[in-house]
Amino acid sequence: MTRRLSALALCCACCFAVLAGCSQQQGMNNMDPSAMQPPPRPAELDQLNPWVGKWETTAEMTMPDGSKMTGTGSSESTWDLDKRVVIERSTFSMGEMGTMQGMGIFTYCPVTKKFKSSWFSSMGEASNGTMWWDEAKKCWCMKSNYISPMTGKPTEFCGTITMPDNNTMNWEMTESTVGFLGAKTKCWEGKGVSKRKA
């Protein structure tokens, strides 16, 4: 008897699911095509215009023990998806660590009123974060969290970017492991300068 009741309940659930699906499909069929048009492009995205172009970078990374590592790189940032997303592709020479390739994705969410960022690299990094413009400091601030492919631990990345002119980016970055109760242990900090090529 219990099995029959269970089967009956399952049958009813399936019927409701089918009816709901049909109702939803019917609603979509009756939808005004104009309602499916993309919303206006957020004007805030234009704040990323200075990032677009080709860049050459020199950087220095400092470890907790004081040892330093220098590197050079190049990148190109372009608008995509009807100028709603900036995509950055970069190659960076890291000395004994070899060459790293990376891809950054930057956009703006009009619902949350925040800039969104994602970063992926050939070292296995995959992070998501937010960015915001600090008017008082005249700089971009960014913060993201991910699981480090190197340590397997929760990791936080923080950085700032200032542009003294349209052809120069000065940036500073810090990466820390996030431990118990949010305690942070610095993994490295870096700074660099990117100059526009074109």
Contact 195, 177 (CB under 8 A): no
- Distance between CA atoms of 197 and 28, rounded to whole angstroms? 48
pLDDT of residue 114: 94
pLDDT of residue 62: 94
pLDDT of residue 50: 96
**What architecture does CATH give domain 43-196?**
Beta Barrel (2.40)
Tell how many helices (H) and how many strands (E) occur in the chain: 1, 10
Per-10-residue mean pLDDT for the chain, 198 residues long? 43 47 56 80 97 97 92 97 98 86 97 96 94 93 93 94 96 94 92 92
Residues with Cβ within 8 Å of 147's Cβ and at least 6 positions away in sequence, in order, are: 153, 154, 155
pLDDT of residue 26: 54
pLDDT of residue 3: 44
Domain extents for the chain?
2-36, 43-196
Q: Is 111 helix (H, G, I), strand (E, B) or coil?
A: coil
- Distance between CA atoms of 52 and 48, rounded to whole angstroms? 7
pLDDT of residue 14: 47
Q: What is the DSSP letter of 97?
A: G
- Distance between CA atoms of 53 and 87, rounded to whole angstroms? 11
- Distance between CA atoms of 190 and 159, rounded to whole angstroms? 9
Amino acid identity for residue 122 in this structure: S
pLDDT of residue 37: 87
Six-digit token string for 17: 């699911």
Amino acid identity for residue 15 in this structure: C
H or E element in which residue 195 lies: strand 184-196
Structure pTM? Answer: 0.79
